[in-house]
């Protein structure tokens, strides 16, 4: 049997704080549509029998009916493909969800929070989905395969080997517990980074959602017999995110920094975050930099530079600047996180400029 496995499309995500350029969310939402259409075209051209969607197909809080209709119309183009959806934490099967209220095409099967088995000629397909935005229990804890002579597939959204407290809110499972079930293929969703070294597979997000999702993104293509699994990754998204760091220690003016940015060699299919690092010799306003017609592929600039002031030496002076710095360093020592530290360091720098 041939299948395509995708997850974490997040249709109609607002993409808040992704870019410093206005209107960028609209660009990314169009990219989601283009990518999904490419998935459907691949299925049509290669006569794929099964499409597994492992959750977070859309954003429950933001999804528009027009987008649901767009998705369903594409499903209608592949009537001979059996489509299985396991709702995730961003698109749970709840009372007012489109999973519950929309009239989906006949080739679409949407799992609910109870584990269900669907028998097909080629395989037994098990699945279940979120019925809330959180799930702290292992939804497949008591699941047992009924016919081990058939191909058995599990479709589910959740965290495997969750190490962070937050991740334990999203259907926590261990890899060992999944392996013990004996499935021939486990189609997972939730983790946006691809993990496909075994038959327990995360395809990653189909379209990257931000700068914490670098590299290529796409789908898993599989061919499965009872004793043999062949899978490969296929790039779908035309967009990739990349970060570039610029050392500002030797840069002495805003104009020189802009020249440095404009001289970067940028690839046409990538979107960039510029990270300014090390020491700075002048005040940097990242939003102001975009007024100078920077390349459109640069969508975010992050200032992580530190002022050239030697705070410790200044704090030992008996001047007004010294007393100010000494008091502010006390507050810096009490900062609870990096964000607070950054704010205090900025306050010290601005205060010293005023006292010059």
pLDDT digits (tens, 9 = 90+) for 175-185: 999 999 999 99
Share of the chain above pLDDT 70, in %: 100
Say yes or no to pLDDT of 202 above 80. yes
User: Residue 314 — pLDDT band, cuts 50, 70, 90?
Assistant: confident
The pLDDT score that the predictor gives to residue 191 is 96
User: How many beta carbons lie within 10 A of that of residue 265, not counting itself?
Assistant: 5
Across the range 348-354, mean pLDDT stands at 84
User: How many beta carbons lie within 10 A of that of residue 77, not counting itself?
Assistant: 13
Q: DSSP letter for 77, please.
A: T
Across the range 239-256, mean pLDDT stands at 96
The pLDDT score that the predictor gives to residue 260 is 96
For residue 227, report the phi and psi dihedrals to the nearest 5 degrees: -115, 15
For residue 340, report the phi and psi dihedrals to the nearest 5 degrees: -65, -40
The pLDDT score that the predictor gives to residue 338 is 86
User: Residue 138 — pLDDT band, cuts 50, 70, 90?
Assistant: very high
The pLDDT score that the predictor gives to residue 349 is 80
The pLDDT score that the predictor gives to residue 105 is 98
Across the range 120-145, mean pLDDT stands at 96
pLDDT digits (tens, 9 = 90+) for 276-294: 999 988 889 999 999 998 9
3-state helix, strand, coil in the chain (%, to 5): 30, 25, 45
123-127, strands of its sheet edge to edge: 116-119, 123-127, 151-157, 185-189, 200-201
Rounded Cα distance between 351 and 321, Å, is: 8
The pLDDT score that the predictor gives to residue 65 is 98
Name 116's bridge partners: 127
The SS3 call for residue 35 is helix
Say yes or no to pLDDT of 16 above 80. yes
**Beta strands 270-277; 298-303: pairing state:** parallel
Say yes or no to pLDDT of 356 above 80. no
Across the range 189-218, mean pLDDT stands at 96
Which residues have a Cβ under 8 Å from the Cβ of 212 and sit 6 or more positions away? 192
Burial of 163 (0-12, 13-18, 19+ CB in 10 A): exposed
Rounded Cα distance between 265 and 213, Å, is: 21
Cα–Cα–Cα angle for 169, 172, 175, nearest 5°? 160
Give the position of tokens 């189609």: 187
User: Residue 164 — pLDDT band, cuts 50, 70, 90?
Assistant: confident
Burial of 110 (0-12, 13-18, 19+ CB in 10 A): buried
CATH 3.60.21.10 assigned to domain 2-235? The reply is: yes
Segments making up each domain of the chain, as ranges: 2-235, 240-355
Tokens linked to 68: 């649901």
Average per-residue pLDDT in the chain? 94
């Amino acid at each position: 049997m041939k299948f395509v496995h995708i997850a974490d499309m997040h249709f109609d995500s607002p993409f808040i704080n992704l870019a410093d350029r206005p209107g960028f969310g609209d660009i990314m939402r169009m990219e989601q549509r283009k990518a999904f259409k490419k998935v459907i075209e691949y299925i049509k051209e290669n006569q794929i029998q099964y499409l597994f969607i492992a959750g977070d197909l859309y954003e429950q809080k933001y999804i528009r009916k027009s987008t649901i209709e767009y998705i369903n119309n594409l499903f209608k183009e592949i009537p001979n493909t059996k489509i299985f959806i396991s709702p995730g934490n961003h698109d749970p099967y709840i009372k007012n969800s489109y999973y519950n209220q929309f009239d989906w095409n006949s080739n679409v099967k949407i799992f609910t929070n109870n584990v269900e088995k669907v028998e097909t000629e080629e395989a037994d397909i098990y699945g279940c989905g979120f019925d809330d935005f959180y799930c702290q229990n292992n939804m497949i804890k008591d699941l047992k395969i009924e016919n081990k002579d058939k191909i058995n597939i599990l479709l589910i959204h959740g965290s495997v080997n969750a190490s962070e407290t937050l991740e334990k809110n999203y259907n926590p499972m261990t890899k060992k517990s999944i392996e013990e079930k004996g499935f021939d293929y486990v189609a997972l969703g939730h983790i946006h980074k691809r993990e496909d070294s075994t038959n327990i597979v995360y395809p990653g997000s189909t379209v990257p959602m931000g700068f914490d999702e670098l590299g290529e993104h796409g789908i898993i293509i599989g061919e499965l017999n009872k004793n043999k699994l062949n899978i490969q990754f296929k790039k779908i998204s035309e967009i990739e995110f990349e970060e570039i760091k610029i050392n500002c220690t030797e840069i002495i003016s805003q104009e020189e920094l802009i020249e440095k940015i404009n001289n970067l060699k940028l690839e046409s299919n990538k979107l960039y975050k510029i990270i300014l690092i090390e020491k700075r010799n002048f005040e940097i306003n990242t939003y102001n930099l975009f007024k100078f017609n920077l390349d459109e592929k640069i969508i975010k600039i992050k200032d992580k530079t530190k002022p050239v002031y030697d705070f410790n030496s200044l704090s030992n002076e008996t001047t007004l600047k010294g007393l100010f710095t000494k008091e502010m360093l006390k507050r810096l020592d009490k900062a609870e996180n990096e964000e607070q530290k950054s704010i205090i360091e900025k306050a010290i720098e601005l205060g010293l400029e005023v006292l010059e």
